[in-house]
Structure 1
Amino acid sequence: MRSATPGAARKTKDDLAVHALAHAVRPLDLPDTSDALGDLCELAISFVLQLSESPLGRVVLGVHAESGRRAQLAEPLRDRYLKPRDAAITEAIERARQQGALHPDLAAETIRDLLFGSLVYHWLSTGEPLDRATAEALIAAARRAISP
């Protein structure tokens, strides 16, 4: 039986779950101002705020946690959900790097983890949606660590 929606037919429940997440959670909207580091920081804040306030936020975290135990979920999650979002983050990091706003010895993954990871960890540890003031304080600390 063919699906009326192209790409909606999936082989497994894991594929269906990843397909639903990839389409339900909006892609990252990369700001483009003259301040690439500010854009990167705002990208982290706006994405994690939106996710923490969404009913889907806990679902996204649950699927991520489950993917650590199941390779058949981890691969499609990486390919169809994480990689497109990571590409936008990497683009923002490279813009900031080109402007000389980042410590040259830090890998893009380290910068990503310091910015996004601190916000997600705070959300996980409190169990409450992240508020902008807390997010900005965490990002300010991370920003000092990644700046030259």
Structure 2
Amino acid sequence: MRRSPPTRRKSLVSAAAAAAAAEASLRDEKMLKASLRSKQHLEGPLRKYTNLLHGWQSRFFELDPDSGRLWYYLSAATRGQQAPRGALSVVGARVCSSPDHPFMFTVQSRAGDVYKLRANDAQDQEIWMTQLQLCSRRTSDCTSKTTSGLTQVKPGLNQD
């Protein structure tokens, strides 16, 4: 009985595995893009620029598409225990990527408040920016809920 050389067998298996991995990656990418098209509740860590003295600080953010608000807390642990550190209305906001730092983007509300934010990687940046832009564009949905008094932010919360 004659056997094929092991290197040829390995290369066939490697090629099949690579093709399967590429197909799975493409499927995951299509699912991600499809999910990004609909507005979703989003939460997770981002870095927020506070000021020259303190620079970039890690914060836990929550995007509520129903209220049109981007809330942030000192950490995920303080989220359920303390009031939000700050909030920004994203209804009609401008969301732009920034070349200043890797994975950085800005959110400027209609009132002029600006959050400078950084994601952990390009995929997180894309997810956050897309969801913020979707909520920003859905002005009629978000405005009716934010102006009804459902979400109140105390003055001075946007300190850091």
> Higher RCO, 1 or 2 (CA under 8 Å, sep at least 6)?
1
Q: TM-score, normalised by structure 1?
A: 0.26
Larger CA Rg, structure 1 vs 2: 2
Q: TM-score, normalised by structure 2?
A: 0.25
Give the strand-richer structure, 1 or 2: 2
